[in-house]
Amino acid sequence: MLKKFLPAEHVKSILNITPEQLKARGIKGIITDLDNTLVEWDRPYATPQLIKWFEEIKRNNIKVTIVSNNNEVRVKAFSDPLEIPFIFQARKPMTKAFNKALAQMGLKKEETVVIGDQLLTDVLGGNRSGFHTILVVPVAQTDGFVTKFNRFAERRIMNWFRKKGLLQWED
């Protein structure tokens, strides 16, 4: 059913998610996508604002794992300077990498959110694994090769949700 593609929440940018909001809900961990969620898919390193956001998250004792379908070179080069654990070639929407990240952080599903920019990988995978999912607007308007195909299906699902009033981006 299409409901599996529906995020529990949607926000404009990951930077709009505050540690206070997360802690109020008992969240202690974040599993986040990389490309077009944290930075543009073709930007190699984190922006100053994003570095500040991660510092804020860590200061509040919220753990983070980057879970990406991209390759080791890309994910490692991005994550290592931030000292954030990562899983590459995660094969989302398969559930294995989500569960691995959870085990590594030593948290429960109820204490962890999944954040990403794609319905077909991040949201579907997170929902299937039983996490609270947060969809963000893609950082860039462009996508890598594989993602272009996913976006086509995604647009159709998004339109359906919009028509049903299940999903709308606030301005």
Residues that bind Mg ion (CB under 5 A): 33, 35-37, 117
Please report the DSSP string for 29-76 in residue order: EEEE--BTTTB-TT--S--HHHHHHHHHHHHTT-EEEEE-SS-HHHHH
Q: How far is the CB of 61 from Mg ion (least distance, A)?
A: 26
Cis peptide before 85 (omega within 30 of 0): no
How far apart CA 56 and CA 152 sit, in angstroms, is: 35
CB-nearer residue toward Mg ion: 39 or 111: 39
Tell me which residue has tokens 């753990």: 63
Using the minimum distance from each CB to Mg ion, give the nearer residue, 36 or 65.
Answer: 36
| Minimum distance, C-beta of residue 82 to Mg ion, in the bound complex (Å) | 17
Nearer to Mg ion, 9 or 110 (CB): 9
CA–CA gap between residue 63 and residue 133 (Å, rounded): 16
Residue with token string 């984190």: 46
Give the nearer residue to Mg ion in terms of CB position, either 4 or 60.
4
Residue 43 beta carbon to Mg ion: minimum distance, rounded to whole angstroms = 12
Closest separation between CB of residue 117 and Mg ion, Å? 4
